[in-house]
Structures are given as C-alpha cells and as structure tokens.
Structure 1
Amino acid sequence: MKSNKRIFLLTLVLGLLLSFSAITAFATQNNNFPKNQAGQTYGSAAMAKSPQEEPDLIAAIGVNGEEGYVYREDLDGEMPSTPEEALAIQKQTEKKMALVAAGTPVVVRTIPLYDVDGVTVIDEFDIINVSNPDRYKDK
C-alpha cells in the first residue's frame, strides 16, 4: 500500500513539474516572428509584454504613408549619459511643446523607416509627443 502511495505522489509531483515547465516555457518564449534574409525578426510589437519580446524590426507607417519597419533601438533613441544631459533633452522638448496649441503633435525626432530587409530606407517615421502647453507654464 505504501509503495502505491509513493508511486502516486511521485507521479503527481512529476506531472506538476512538467506542466509548470511547459507553461513557463510557453509564457517566456519569444513570439514566433518571421525572419528576413539577415536573420532579423520583424512584425508588430503590439502584443509584446516587454522589449525583449519585440521583434528586431517593428512594423510602422511612415510620414508619407509607406508601411515598413523601424529598429527598436532607433525608437528608444540614444540614452543620456548623465542626469544633466537628460534634463537638457527634456527642457528642449518642453520648449518645442510650449510653442504650439494644446493637443498638437510635436515631432521630437525623425528616424528611418526600412523595408523588411532592414537596409533599404523607404520613408521616415516621426516620433511625436502631444503638447499640453499649460503643463509647462510657471506656477
């Protein structure tokens, strides 16, 4: 009787461990994006739960309506190397935004829009911020 109970418990524990492993592997696996000839993944980042799950080339629509891809690194932009540099960039953006009417999109910077090959530039993609001038007025 004891050996049957041990076998049952061992089987139950192994089953739970295997189930947990399969669920974890499925949850953490990168989306199955297609790859271009250079081996880069491409597609929409809409369902990504983190930057690690995004494709190398993210689907976007350019300023002239072209459908293409942007590099995730280009979207992020260069990171400031000091807090002072970060504040300077923020102030520059705030100045641009304070000059336009509320709700107006302000182009913060423009990056290339690529064909699926990740090399051929087919358009540009504007990174925008919607202005709210009241936010930047001195209180």
Structure 2
Amino acid sequence: MIKAKLARVAAVVGASAALVVGLSASAQADSDKTINLPSSRGYMHFHDDGDVFSVCDTKADGYGVTGALWVRNSANIVSQLWTIDDGGDSGCDKKGENIGQLSTYQMEVWWHGGGSAVWSAWFNE
C-alpha cells in the first residue's frame, strides 16, 4: 500500500515537473517582441536570441522611423537607454542590448511624418 502511494506521488511530481519545463520552454520561445506602426510605415523588433533590436522603415515616403529603448530599474526609475533611426537606406538598423531580469524594458517606435508613438508592454528575460 505504501509503495502504491509513493508510486502515485512520484508520478504526480514527475508530471508537474514536465509541465513546468514545457511551460518554461514555450515562454522562452515566445520572447521575441514586435511593435508595428499604423499603415505599415515601420516597426521595432526585439530578437531574444542575441538580444538585438531592429528598427525598420517599410515605406519609401521620404520620412524615417525612430525606435527607442526604455528601462525601469528596481527603484521604479525610468530612463531612455538609446534611440536608433532608420530611413533613407535599404535594410533595417540594429542595436544590441543585453536584456536581463533585474530591470524591465519597453520599446517605443514613431514615424517622422507625425502621429503618435507606439509602445510595447514592459518586458524582461
């Protein structure tokens, strides 16, 4: 009887561990982020594998696109880390930034022709 109970407990613990590992793998695989400007004018993308940010101007309309990365530290102080611009050339502009777990980050992208900026949700690894 005790062996049967131990076997059931071991099975439940094993299944729980497999579920946690599976959920962790899915969260890691889905950690890339993209925010898009209206009218397909451009976007900002965070590629988690390598911690690379891209800003892309997708319309040849004479205006460019700028992306910014903001950080909020454990004291809840928010500051802008950097900006990158894209426009007037082919391809996207990129910048690396090591994203960790001690702070949270937010992307912002805007079109130089006017309108509101688009913001991501706060995130970290």
Specify if TM > 0.5: no
TM category (shorter chain) comes to 0.3 to 0.5
Q: Structure 2-normalised TM-score?
A: 0.39
Q: Structure 1-normalised TM-score?
A: 0.36
Bigger RCO of structures 1 and 2 (CA < 8 A, at least 6 apart): 2
- Bigger Cα Rg: 1
Higher fraction of strand: 2
